[in-house]
Amino acid sequence: MSSLLDRPAPTATTALTLRRGAARVLIDNWSGTSTVPSRTLYPHQWSWDSAFIAIGLRHLSVRRAQQELESLLAGQWADGRIPHIVFNPAVPHDAYFPSPDFWQSSRAGRAAGAPTTPETSGIVQPPVHALAAWLVHQADPQESWRRGFLARAHPRLAAWHDYLLTCRHLGGQGLAAVVHPWEPGMDNSPCWDQALQRIVPDAPEAFQRADLNHGHPSDRPTDLDYGRYVRLATDYREADYDDRALRHGFAMEDPCFNALLIVSERALAAMAHELGLDDAPHLRRADELTRQLVARLWDDDAGVFGVLDLNTHRLVGERSVSGLIPLIVPDLPYDIVRRLQESLDGPHFKAAATGLVPSYDLTGHAFDSQRYWRGPAWFNTAWLIHRGLRTHRLETDAEHLRQSYIAEAARSRFAEYVDPTTGAGRGARHFSWTAALALDLLCADPKEPMP
């Protein structure tokens, strides 16, 4: 991979320097079979991280981008779920909590078809994988065909979506539900606060957090939040990870999660067409999911999509970046696209100092510019919103966000996230998806139409 740093690229000097730095992050974070998000804070393979990482890696090595996704799919369960962590057996258990001995996937997940090895978690993360696989295929179709990448990935990814639309069809109206705050990827968002009030937390002395060894407490979720996360995961494990055997105290329909499912269904349709298979079922699913997303989660008063609490059957009254990410859905009604554009440029989400998008309403009661998903601006959500803006031909806004991403990624040394009001880097540095998606924005042709 060292030769990748010397590969010429038609970019200006500053962009070339950033490209080389991003490539170095991905090389340094390679574990031998996949890429860790961070050498310190996140020493295993994370699900949606690997999808974003593959999107960037395709500009350096299509073979390695394929391997990134294939390594993740090796941890897929027989019921179709792709777990949110695939554990590296070479990493000591005390390096990360919850560790493999907490999840006990090969025992508790046996009935659901968890693999004997590798050990995994039992929950999931947002389904961006099919989109990533399709973009990797498009980067070098000849190499993809030579290795049979698409033919092997398509049935596995189809099974993943089947799991979400059957076992996680908890609301009964078409959308997929998440059953733990870690599943939508925005762990301690204020969108979960009301629902978490129903959960009796485990006591702090009942578990040993490892994240505080590498992250400042002011950046991380509180012990109270963590106690609730642990309780939810423990209850799920004790139910053998059976979605129908447990009455979920936390069950939410999240707009980002379902928007990514829609876009990935469309990617599965493209894969099916390429493979000579019937693409119609995937397109029908995408259309129905889009209708349900608008009908169930659009909040016209807030000007963003909301989170639906399936225990109260009400939208949560918080504005989150999750509610802006449905811009990536191609067939949104025109008036909703315009409202989302206005919300991005309005007082709730316009962070003039950085040009990035805060994870939570700047004017919201729970806004915290430093604490994880309660305000900081994240790079993966910026990439998704950039893609959404381009999907709807809002090219000026998209280019502004692209330039802001590149500037802040460089200034923060590829930070995990930044304070949206100052640009100060927070969380881990040399973070893999920040580097990978910077590569994508640097290497992709901004004039090329979106697929």
Average pLDDT of the chain to the nearest whole number: 93
Q: What sign does the CA torsion over 445, 446, 448, 449 have?
A: positive
What is the pTM assigned to this prediction? 0.94
Transcribe 91-141 into DSSP letters. Answer: S-GGGSSS-HHHH-HHHHTTTTT--SSS-B-SSB----HHHHHHHHHHH-H
pLDDT of residue 202: 77
Task: Please name the amino acid found at residue 178.
Answer: V
pLDDT of residue 211: 60
Token output for 444: 């992709």
In degrees and rounded to multiples of 5, residue 124 shows phi and psi of -125, 180
pLDDT of residue 88: 95
pLDDT of residue 3: 41
pLDDT of residue 359: 98
Digit-coded pLDDT (tens) for 269-290: 999 999 999 999 999 999 999 9
10-residue block means of pLDDT along the chain (451 residues)?
Answer: 44 80 97 94 95 97 97 98 96 89 97 96 98 97 96 98 97 96 96 95 69 62 84 96 92 98 98 98 98 98 98 97 98 97 98 96 96 95 98 97 97 96 94 98 71 56
CB atoms under 10 Å from CB of 335, counted, come to 9
Cis peptide before 181 (omega within 30 of 0): no
CB atoms under 10 Å from CB of 297, counted, come to 22
pLDDT of residue 246: 86
Rounded Cα distance between 195 and 193, Å, is: 6
Q: Where are the alpha helices (DSSP H) in 140-222?
A: 141-147, 149-166, 193-196
Q: Which residues are part of the catalytic machinery?
A: 187, 416
pLDDT of residue 10: 43
Token output for 273: 């067409």
pLDDT of residue 218: 64
pLDDT of residue 223: 80
